[in-house]
Amino acid sequence: MSDRKLNFFAGPSVLPVEVLDEMQSQIKDYQGNGQSMIETSHRGAMFEGMYNKCLSSMRELLGISSDYDVYFLGGGATLQFAMIPMNFLKPGTHADYIKSGTWANKAGKDAEVFGDVKYYFDGSDSKFTTLPDPKTVHASKNSSYLYLCSNETIGGIEWQDFPKREDTPIIADMSSDFLSRPVDVNNFDMIYGGVQKNLGPAGATVIIMKKDMLKRANSPLPNYLNYANHSSKDGLFNTPPVFSIWGVQLVLEWIKKNGGAQGMKERATLKSKMVYDVLDSSDFWKSPVDSRYRSKMNVVFRLPSEDLEKKFLTEAAQNDMLGLKGHRSVGGLRASIYNSCPVEDVKTLTEFMKEFERKNG
């Protein structure tokens, strides 16, 4: 019987037990090489074999063609907020940003440091509880790129479909729903994401970039902040976040064993429906999000009073359910149910929610 608590944190978040067991068994001696993966040279054959397998699995699972680079950087998604406009916001143009919530907003503010930003959509009036219809989204004239965040962890909203690529590049932060569903990578010129939600331990950011984007880059740029340098070195311009990448490689193998991107979509649909069905069952619970754009990764909800929310969190913790407090900026409650969160854990949560309503409703 497992003594692990149920992890609903927004990130770093739950990993598959099988992956943790594999890391534990290999941590001192990786596959009989007499060395740990996290103490070997990133220029050596042992690391290169793991790294190439990781990148190959990523390409396989998302159908990424040779027209795109795939590699990892440090600095989290937050570094990308600055790197993207530094590289691609051309002088005399502007960038279009979809202002959908905390993370897209932070990206837009950083872009303003480097040039003109136009907010194609601003969800402020709705308190970031809805999104524009993707069919209506078109980049404006003279735009360097169109930027969006596919899933806002704090607001609990997620694009269920995406604007179609036209003449202007589309760049997407997919940190919190990466590989939770199939995605047509060819619709995007850049996809990136911190791995600590769906893919592995914190510390790495995956970059998927169409090689043609490098032709659009500004110059000159500092070495590390120039995507062209990372592209030319297959992501090994400097020492990469080895431990995190190893974790990603193992999680990608786990995803393959569990149905790939389509399998993750089915898991996400099942788990999120279990929670939303409870929320929609009575007036005791409230989901503030436009039902058309409800996140399958981060389910946010409220109770009739903050006192009840505090009681809910206390009793949930007493029942070994952690991470259910909403982000400090918005309050309320939130269940993050990423790829690796077991269906059984979500079932336990929903049963607890029903019982809590029975006693307090």
Question: Could you give the residue numbers annotated as active site?
Answer: 103, 173, 197
Strand partners, 119: 97
Can you read off the two tokens belonging to residue 206?
Answer: 């995956």
Max CA distance (Å), the chain = 64
Q: Which residues contact 351 (CB under 8 A, 6 or more apart)?
A: none
- Given a contact cutoff of 8 angstroms between Cβ atoms, the answer to whether 160 and 108 are in contact is no
Sign of CA dihedral 249, 206, 161, 185: negative
136 SS3 class: helix
Closest of 147, 153, 142 to residue 111, by C-alpha: 147
Which residue type sits at 263? G
CA distances to 28, 31, 133, 247, 296 from 24, rounded to whole Å, are: 8, 12, 45, 11, 30
CA distances to 91, 136, 178 from 224, rounded to whole Å, are: 21, 37, 24
Closest of 73, 48, 99, 336 to residue 190, by C-alpha: 73
Q: What is the CA radius of gyration of the chain?
A: 21
